[in-house]
A and B are shown apart, each in its own frame.
Chain A
């Protein structure tokens, strides 16, 4: 499954996370870890708390209890931007692309953190600023080739079909050269063929870019094929954790997914 890259140290360690909104408990006492270069899936039925979990890691929500450690550094009150600076990128379940902008511009925004030239250098667009723009453009072209969206470079993303927009969303995150990539239901709403394409891209990203991947899905089938380890959530609690084969045979997991007579 893992394309030759050895799975390494723990990069992301989630410890006893609890999150509630008012009286509603979204996550209770969740712990798991993610190792370098692995594909780690978080699965569970609708409303299990998968997206809340991802949003905690991404700094959108601040959990009331628990800690998240990234390469040994604990963070509690972080916003998305600071998380991005640490090398964590994400995609969104409901597409959050910059609709009015072209595919190329969307991907170029992903390079924002790596741009060093200041406002005035950019305004004049001379020397260093120009060289920087060219360098970033080269990187982005590499991603465009990788995701096979060459033909749509200049198209405003709002006009692309859904499956391609999902790819652009992935590309924008990749443009950040992230160490950890969080994918929020990358295959939601796709047909079988598109799902296969996306699975291939995810595996290739893991392989070629060396990114560690945390992905959320509620469809078990595809995820089991591409993940190294799987966390299963149900009603905000962790009910399973292990390799796909272990999880598939876990009674609690089967009960959550198939239901059982009481």
Chain B
């Protein structure tokens, strides 16, 4: 039982990171109908910027405080993501308004590879680490209930806390501010939103900025766990099945979908793996997504697609 809970907990942690990446997808898709293939590249780009600046800032300023370096690096990386958002709107999206979904998808694919390349040109292509001072020591929970308790990484708990705070802050922003309302309005109905004077282009920049911040937080947590390296983009691709599972238009769907996939792949690896020779973790998410596409294409929480014949 203790082992099962440990596996479950580990799955939840991974799943939460999938959720963060998936959240970026959903935000952009809701607001602009663009399936943003570049979300993974944005995670890598943001993490690279953060890792490098936290290394450079002590060198440039001579201030050795890790806190200072990390906070400044986070802000700088955030500003860089804002600039990326603004440029994407200015140079790409604005010219592709009302184009077909496939056109926009190809455009974001282009943005993805551009960001991959630009990131490595600007920041180098080694493996970097982000050290935000998360404690690495494991702790034991529920020792009274199971023999030996459950082994949990403190780092994971902190990461979960950061992610939860981000999601809570975002939902407050969306629910309680005028701009949040405008964002939801655009997500619901472009034409009506325009007719009451909500500027679409303005909203798109904001959404890409928010997605950039989400990417930065996801990149920071991944980076401090695994190091910042090119493989982050492939990990981020794991968020695709998550959005299919959760529904492309649902924020809670992205979060729950991520957790389901994280837990599912860990549990199936541990309990089914021995019978099929392992490796389930790699394909589990995609097969689950395939099953959903066949039987429930709108996902767990997505809007049902009804087409007029």
A positions within 8 Å CB-CB of B: 58, 60, 79-81, 83-85, 89-90, 92, 96-101, 105, 108-113, 115, 117, 119, 122-123, 125, 129, 132-133, 136, 172-173, 175-176
Contact A109 B181 (CB under 8 A): yes
Are A122 and B194 in contact, with the CB atoms below 8 A? no
Pick the contact of B185: A89, A101, A133 (CB < 8 A).
Answer: A101
Give the total of B residues in contact with A, Cβ under 8 Å: 23
Say whether A90 contacts B188, CB under 8 Å. Answer: no
**Contacting residues, chain A, for B194 (C-beta < 8 A):** 79-81, 84
Q: Give the total number of A-B pairs whose CB atoms are below 8 A apart.
A: 87
Residues of A within 8 A of B197 (CB): 81, 84-85, 112-113, 176
Q: A99-B189, A109-B181 are in contact. List 4 more A-B contacts (CB 8 A).
A: A84-B194, A84-B197, A96-B195, A110-B196
A84 surroundings in chain B (CB, below 8 A): 194-197
Judge if B99 is at the interface, Cβ distance under 8 Å: no
B contacts, CB < 8 Å to A: 173, 176-182, 184-185, 188-189, 191-200, 206
Q: Knowing A92-B192, A108-B178 are in contact, say whether A101-B198 is a contact too (CB < 8 A).
A: no
Main secondary structure of the interface of B (DSSP, over half): helix
Partner of B177, one of A96, A98, A122: A122
Q: Could you say which residues of chain A place their CB within 8 Å of the CB of B176?
A: 125
- A112: chain B residues at CB < 8 Å are 178, 181-182, 185, 196-198
A90 to B199, CA, bound (A): 16
Q: What separation, in Å, do the CA atoms of A133 and B178 have in the docked complex?
A: 8
**Are the CB atoms of B184 and A101 closer together than 8 Å?**
yes
Chain B residue at minimum C-beta to C-beta distance from A132: B178
Q: Specify which of A98, A133, A136, A175 lies most central, judged by the most chain B CB atoms within 10 Å of its CB.
A: A98
> Hey, which chain A residues are within 8 Å of B200, CB to CB?
81
Cα-based distance from A109 to B203 in the complex (angstroms) = 13
> CB distance B181 to A108 under 8 Å?
yes
- Establish whether residues A109 and B185, one from each chain, have CB atoms under 8 Å apart when the complex forms: yes
**Contact indicator B195/A115 (Cβ below 8 Å):** no
